[in-house]
Copies of this chain bind each other. A is one copy, B any other.
Amino acid sequence: MSRFDQLPPGDLFKALEVASPSDDLPQINALLDAVRFNEGGLLPAIAQQFDSGEVLMMAWMNREALEETLTTQRVCYYSRSRQKLWRKGETSGQQQQLKSAALDCDGDTLLLQVDQTGPACHTGRRSCFYVSLSNEHAAITSEPLIDPATLYGKK
């Protein structure tokens, strides 16, 4: 039992603001009921390489994708363009093994620590964040590790 068990889902994250590492938290299903998916039923999920700290990508999850990710330890997103579950690496082979996951203070964003096989980006680059912007100029910051035509079986 947890002192947070009796709360309605809409009040849980507010109550957790003052919780401590020593507190017992509600069961996972109660947490998932309280996650603030957006009006499309989706949650932004940031993937960070667990050992180097590099931020690899941001994609979206619905509740089913989040539950599958926690169960299988293999990261599954929801593809907004294809409107279906997207098991990262299912075409390219570039999977993400889940190391840990954490929700933010208001329960509407997820941070994943992952072990990424090869490039995370569909362009063949390690990270999706390669268009740097400053006040003066923009620049490309990385080259593909692998030709995307190879990744997606077009070669």
Residues of A at the B interface (CB closer than 8 Å) are 13, 16-21, 23, 25-28, 31, 44, 46, 48, 52-55, 57-58, 70-71, 73, 100-107, 109-111, 121-123, 125, 128-143, 148
Contacts and interface: CB of A to CB of B under 8 A. Distances in A.
A127 to B, nearest CB: 8
A57 B141 CA distance: 23
Q: How many chain copies? A: 2
27 contacts: A17-B123, A17-B148, A21-B139, A25-B131, A25-B140, A26-B138, A28-B134, A28-B137, A31-B138, A44-B44, A44-B58, A46-B46, A53-B54, A55-B111, A57-B104, A58-B109, A70-B133, A70-B135, A103-B129, A103-B131, A103-B133, A104-B130, A104-B131, A105-B123, A105-B131, A106-B128, A111-B129
